[in-house]
């Protein structure tokens, strides 16, 4: 475990040295306080998503020089939990600009100030789109010029990731239309839990703290609400499984 942590640290230091001249790079650090935590005194995923969204948005707006919105965030795999008192370091930069959209890479690591340990928490890719002007004109982005080896690699793969994003919903639609989706196992009907029983609904009143600088509900807040209902739905299921 210790050598894995120091490998992660080394990897981060190398990336830091490489990317120090990138004008779209944004770094933000937050110390985890009780108000950011769940009932287990760990950083709540919703709070982390809010920080990731706001760091990435700043990076996107640095490139665009105008307002941008979060269009999507790709799959995220959380490798470690983060505890109260630890420091979260977020780093975002634009990997590639397309026409009005761009891919922003977000790297999250954690630091324990008292033991001087650092480790990687997750890496995500978000797509931000420039907001149209008051007259409804699209704002086209200037290209990103990769400098370091790592930036060249991210730049090339970003185009492929964008292609996958664009075909993803078409693939699901085709699967549903063709009826080639897996059916539920009918033998599990007696022992299983009806999906409906795990359904959770939440109604949120949009208040000023939920808004971004464009006075819209910001993407990270919406993701945080989604995490809340998903967590409650998952707990329901576990409760039913206890024999």
Which residues of the chain form contacts with ligand PKZ (CB under 6 A)? 50-51, 53-54, 57, 69-72, 98-101, 127, 129, 165, 212, 216, 218-219
Q: Which two tokens stand for residue 18?
A: 């490489």
- Closest to ligand PKZ by CB, 50 vs 120, is 50
- Closest to ligand PKZ by CB, 148 vs 212, is 212
Q: How far is the CB of 176 from ligand PKZ (least distance, A)?
A: 19
Q: Which two tokens stand for residue 35?
A: 């108000």
| C-beta separation of 63 from 142 below 8 A | yes
- Closest to ligand PKZ by CB, 44 vs 54, is 54
Q: Which two tokens stand for residue 153?
A: 């690699």
- Closest to ligand PKZ by CB, 95 vs 101, is 101
Q: How far is the CB of 62 from ligand PKZ (least distance, A)?
A: 13
Name every residue whose Cβ is closer than 8 Å to that of residue 78 and which is 6 or more positions away in sequence. 45, 121, 122
Q: How far is the CB of 106 from ligand PKZ (least distance, A)?
A: 12
- Closest to ligand PKZ by CB, 70 vs 109, is 70
| C-beta separation of 43 from 30 below 8 A | no
- Closest to ligand PKZ by CB, 6 vs 214, is 214
Q: How far is the CB of 153 from ligand PKZ (least distance, A)?
A: 21
Q: How far is the CB of 78 from ligand PKZ (least distance, A)?
A: 18
**What region, left, alpha or beta, does residue 31 occupy, with left being phi > 0 and alpha being psi -120 to 50 degrees?**
beta
Residue 32 to residues 6, 77, 122: CA-CA distances in angstroms? Answer: 22, 20, 16
- Helix residue ranges per DSSP H, 78-218: 149-178
Q: How far is the CB of 230 from ligand PKZ (least distance, A)?
A: 19
How would you list the strands of the sheet with 87-97, edge to edge? 26-31, 87-97, 101-112, 117-130, 68-73
């Amino acid at each position: 475990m210790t050598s894995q942590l120091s490998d992660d640290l080394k990897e981060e230091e190398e990336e830091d040295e490489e990317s120090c001249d990138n004008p779209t790079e944004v770094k933000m650090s937050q110390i985890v306080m009780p108000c950011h935590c769940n009932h287990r005194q760990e950083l709540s995923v919703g709070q982390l998503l809010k920080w990731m969204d706001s760091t990435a948005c700043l990076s996107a707006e640095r490139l665009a020089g105008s307002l941008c919105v979060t269009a999507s965030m790709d799959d995220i795999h959380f490798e470690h939990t983060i505890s109260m008192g630890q420091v979260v370091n977020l780093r975002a930069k634009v990997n590639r600009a397309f026409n009005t959209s761009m891919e922003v890479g977000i790297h999250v690591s954690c630091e324990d100030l008292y033991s001087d340990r650092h480790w990687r928490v997750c890496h995500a890719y978000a797509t931000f789109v420039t907001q149209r002007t008051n007259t409804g004109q699209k704002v086209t982005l200037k290209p990103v010029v990769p400098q370091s080896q790592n930036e060249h690699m991210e730049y090339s793969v970003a185009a492929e990731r964008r292609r996958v994003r664009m075909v993803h919903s078409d693939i699901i639609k085709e699967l549903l239309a063709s009826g080639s989706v897996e059916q539920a196992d009918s033998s599990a009907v007696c022992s299983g839990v009806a999906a409906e029983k795990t359904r959770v609904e939440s109604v949120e009143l949009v208040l000023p703290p939920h808004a971004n600088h464009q006075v819209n509900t910001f993407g990270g807040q919406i993701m945080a609400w989604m995490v809340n209902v998903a967590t409650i739905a998952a707990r329901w299921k576990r409760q039913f499984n206890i024999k």
